[in-house]
Amino acid sequence: MNPRRTIVILLGGPGAGKGTQAQEIRSRFGIPPISTGQILRNEIARQSALGIEAQAIINAGGLVSDDIVNRLVAERVRMKDCKHGFILDGYPRDIDQAVAFKGEIHAEDRLFVIDIDVDVEKVTERLTSRLNCQSCGALYNSITSPPRQAGQCDRCGSVLSRRADDREKVIRERFKAYRAILSRNAFRAA
């Protein structure tokens, strides 16, 4: 018999705050957050074949194929640190991914789904001001929560940078792709 796991699925458009909420849930329940975006960024940093392919798609504002994402998530949720549960940040993003993920859920698991709705204009402003630390993962915003010293992480002192996809044009393309998925799924589910 499988142990009972707590599975939290956070849904919402790009920049909705899924990662922030995942960290809060992690601190309360002690289960790891799993971000498909972070998994893909790790592949990009490793310059794996998958990472190189994904980088071109992401930088253009597109979405990586379901097949690739499904395999990465399935591998990740089977890791030892997910024994008691996990938090999915933005996955599944469509019906096909949900169907694929269903095979990873056990009958005794507790499943929670939270959908975060955001305004694209506010998110665009926030994301174009986002800064992150490549060393420790700390997040800042140059307008609403800047680091104490410009361009330097408060936690570890490393140089802060912007993600390549935190450009207005790319953000708007990501929202357009996200809305297209929602429209397509609403039609299919009806």
Segment 81-127, tens digit of pLDDT: 999 999 999 899 888 899 999 999 999 999 999 989 888 888 899 88
Name the domain count of the chain: 2
Residues 140 and 105 in one domain: no
Tell me the CB-side half-sphere exposure of residue 144, using CA atoms within 13 A.
10
Q: Please give the Cα distance from 100 to 70 (Å, whole number).
A: 7
Does residue 189 belong to any structural domain of this protein? Answer: no
> Which residue range forms the structural domain that includes residue 42?
1-117
Is residue 31 over pLDDT 60? yes
Does residue 190 belong to any structural domain of this protein? Answer: no
Residues 18 and 112 in one domain: yes
Give the pLDDT confidence score for residue 58 in this predicted structure: 78
Residues 96 and 33 in one domain: yes
189 — pLDDT class (breaks 50, 70, 90):
very low
Residues 22 and 110 in one domain: yes
130 is catalytic: yes
153 — pLDDT class (breaks 50, 70, 90):
very high
Does residue 188 belong to any structural domain of this protein? Answer: no
Catalytic residue among 5, 41, 76, 174: 174
Residues 70 and 10 in one domain: yes
Is residue 145 over pLDDT 60? yes
**β partners of residue 141:** 130, 145
Q: Please give the Cα distance from 176 to 14 (Å, whole number).
A: 10
148 is catalytic: no
Residues 60 and 90 in one domain: yes
Q: How many CB atoms lie within 10 A of CB 144?
A: 10
Residues 40 and 127 in one domain: no
Is residue 33 over pLDDT 50? yes
Is residue 71 over pLDDT 90? no
Is residue 190 over pLDDT 60? no
Does residue 16 belong to any structural domain of this protein? Answer: yes
pTM of the predicted protein model: 0.72
Mean pLDDT, the chain, integer: 88
Catalytic residue among 126, 162, 163, 167: 163
Give the pLDDT confidence score for residue 164 in this predicted structure: 82
Is residue 186 over pLDDT 70? no
Is residue 14 over pLDDT 90? no
18 is catalytic: yes
188 — pLDDT class (breaks 50, 70, 90):
very low
Kindly report which listed range (23-32, 37-46, 94-103, 160-169) carries the lowest average pLDDT score: 37-46
Kindly report which listed range (67-76, 83-92, 178-187) carries the lowest average pLDDT score: 178-187
CATH number of the domain enclosing 104: 3.40.50.300
Residues 20 and 105 in one domain: yes
Does residue 180 belong to any structural domain of this protein? Answer: no
Contact 175, 167 (CB under 8 A): no
Residues 77 and 151 in one domain: no
Catalytic residue among 5, 18, 41, 76: 18
Catalytic residue among 5, 41, 76, 130: 130
Residues 34 and 96 in one domain: yes
Give the pLDDT confidence score for residue 44 in this predicted structure: 87
State what percent of residues in the chain have pLDDT above 70.
96
